Amino acid sequence: MSNLFSRIKNTVLADLHEALDQKERKNPIMMLNQYLRECEQETEKVRKLLERQHQLKEQFAREYYQATELAEKRKRQADIAARAGESELQSFAEQEQAQYEDRTSRLKDALSGANRQLDELERKYEEMKHKLKDMHIRRMELMGRENVTRAHNRMNQVLDNSAYSNKAYSRFAEIESYLDRLEQQVNSSFYRNTIDGRIAKLEKDLKKEETHSIS
């Protein structure tokens, strides 16, 4: 049963990966975005490692200065014991001094190495950030090209589509014909109203003249 579930799981994952691959092939910008996200994640990891290296350098520095101070302290104490004739105490202080001086030497080398390593890491980290910024700018350029290409493609589809153009021109012709008929109706109505008014006035004037003639 477990083998069956494993086969089903693998089949589903394979189909999913295939679908994602096809989607990426259709949209390369999506694939580029994924790559940039991965680069950003790696850059963030490096930043955290740099922070850790800074902390280690500071720890080395603290230990170095502390060992230096203790070595100087034991040296003074050994001198005091020697002047006081306390040979046993002098011997103990000198042993402590030697141990702290040995530790100081080791910590000095470690601190120097940490500084060199930190400088190298910071230099490479800055290079990574510049590369990442360049990739973001490059993505913007590609997105601009893609946008322009899509816009041209859509415009060409409209301009080159004779059926669409014929339909549009046919519609324009219908509207123009309708406006022509409407204009003719308005002009005809205006002309009729004008004629009716003029005839009515003439008729009224004639009636007045006839009335005056009779009287």
Q: What is 25-77 written as a DSSP string?
A: HH-HHHHHHHHHHHHHHHHHHHHHHHHHHHHHHHHHHHHHHHHHHHHHHHHHH
Find the angle CA(18)-CA(22)-CA(23) to the nearest 5 degrees: 115
C-beta separation of 81 from 89 below 8 A: yes
pLDDT tens digits, the chain, 215 residues: what are they?
445 445 544 555 555 455 545 554 556 777 778 888 888 888 888 888 889 999 999 999 999 999 999 999 999 999 999 998 899 998 999 999 999 999 999 999 999 999 998 899 899 889 888 988 888 888 888 888 888 888 888 887 777 665 555 666 677 777 888 787 877 777 666 666 676 767 777 777 777 777 766 65
Contacts of 7 (CB under 8 A, 6+ apart): none
Two tokens, residue 155: 């415009």
